[in-house]
C-alpha cells in the first residue's frame, strides 16, 4: 500500500511541475520534454528522411511550398512577439520541402522542419488551401504537441507501473484484468481524446496563422470539405480515432473563423 501511495504521489508531482504555458491559449500544458532534448533528434530524423525520399526542387509547386511556409513563419513570429513571447522561437531551424509521394499528407517536426507531400496538392489546390495545411502543421510544432505526446506516453507508462504495484499480491488473472482495463481506459479515456484535442487546437491556431499571413480563413472550410470528400467516409468512429470527425472539425473551424479574423485585424489584415 505504501509503495502504491508513493507511486501516485510521484505522478501527481510530475503533473504539477511538468507544465508549460501555451502562448496561444494562455493555459498550462503537460510537457516535461525540453526543446533541447527533442530538437536535435528531430533535425537528424528530418535530414535522414530527406536523404531517403525524393525532394522536389525547381518547380512552381516547390516554390509555392516555400512561399507559404515563409509567410506562415512570419505570421507566427508576429503573433508571438506581439503577445510577449519574444525569443520563443529560439532554436527553431525552419525548412520547407516538397516531397514526391502520393500520400495525402504533410507534417512539421519539432523545431520547424516541414514536409509537404505532392499527393496533397490536388486537394489544397492553391496557396490558401496549402496555408490551411501548413498553418495546422506549424501549430503542432509551435505548441510542442510532439513533446506533449511523449510526456503523456511516459506518464501512461508510469501509471501502468503504479497499477502493477497496486495489483501485486493478487492472482495472475486479476493482475492481467487490471492491466488490460488500465490500458483500454487510458487509451480511450485519455490518449485518444488528448490527440483529438491537439488536432482541434492546431486547427484553431492554424486559422490564426493563415489569417495573419494574408490568407482568408474562410478558405479553410473549402479545403476541409475537399479532404472529407477525398476520404470517402472511411474513417473510424471519432471516439476510436486520433482525429476529430470531419463534421466535428468543419463545425469547429466555422466557429473559430471570426476569432482568426479578429486576430489578423490587430496586424492590419482585414477580411
Q: Which residues are catalytic?
A: 137
Element (H, E) at 42: helix 35-52
Q: Report d(CA 191, CA 150) in Å as an integer.
A: 11
**Hey, CA dihedral for 27, 193, 190, 36, is it positive or negative?**
negative
Q: What secondary structure does DSSP assign to 106-145, as a single string?
A: EEEETTTEEEEEGGGHHHH-SHHHHHHHHHHHHHHHHTTH
Q: Output the nine-digit C-alpha cell for 20.
A: 508549460
**Following CA atoms 54, 58, 62, 66 in sequence, which dihedral angle do they give, to the nearest 10 degrees?**
120
For residue 95, give every residue at least 6 positions away whose Cβ sits within 8 Å of its Cβ, in sequence order, or none. Answer: 46, 112, 113, 114
CA distance 2 to 9: 11
Amino acid at each position: 500500500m505504501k509503495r502504491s501511495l508513493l507511486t501516485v504521489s510521484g505522478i501527481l508531482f510530475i503533473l504539477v511541475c511538468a507544465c508549460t504555458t501555451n502562448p496561444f491559449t494562455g493555459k498550462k500544458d503537460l510537457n516535461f520534454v525540453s526543446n533541447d532534448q527533442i530538437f536535435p533528434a528531430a533535425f537528424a530524423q528530418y535530414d535522414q528522411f530527406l536523404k531517403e525520399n525524393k525532394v522536389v526542387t525547381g518547380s512552381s509547386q516547390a516554390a509555392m511550398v516555400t512561399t507559404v511556409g515563409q509567410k506562415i513563419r512570419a505570421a507566427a513570429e508576429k503573433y508571438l512577439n506581439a503577445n510577449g513571447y519574444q525569443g520563443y522561437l529560439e532554436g527553431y531551424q525552419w525548412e520547407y520541402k516538397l516531397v514526391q509521394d502520393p500520400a495525402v499528407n504533410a507534417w512539421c517536426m519539432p523545431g520547424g522542419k516541414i514536409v509537404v507531400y505532392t499527393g496533397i496538392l490536388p486537394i489544397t489546390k492553391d496557396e490558401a488551401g496549402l496555408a490551411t495545411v501548413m498553418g495546422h502543421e506549424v501549430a503542432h510544432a509551435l505548441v510542442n504537441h510532439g513533446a506533449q505526446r511523449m510526456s503523456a506516453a511516459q506518464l501512461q507508462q508510469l501509471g501502468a507501473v503504479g497499477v502493477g504495484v497496486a495489483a501485486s499480491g493478487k492472482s495472475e488473472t486479476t493482475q492481467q484484468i487490471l492491466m488490460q482495463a488500465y490500458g483500454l481506459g487510458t487509451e480511450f479515456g485519455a490518449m485518444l481524446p488528448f490527440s483529438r484535442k491537439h488536432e482541434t487546437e492546431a486547427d484553431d491556431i492554424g486559422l490564426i496563422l493563415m489569417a495573419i499571413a494574408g490568407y482568408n480563413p474562410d478558405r479553410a472550410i473549402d479545403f476541409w470539405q475537399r479532404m472529407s470528400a477525398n476520404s470517402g467516409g472511411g474513417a473510424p468512429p471519432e471516439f476510436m480515432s486520433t482525429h476529430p470527425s470531419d463534421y466535428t472539425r468543419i463545425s469547429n473551424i466555422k466557429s473559430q473563423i471570426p476569432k482568426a479574423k479578429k486576430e489578423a485585424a490587430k496586424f492590419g489584415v482585414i477580411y
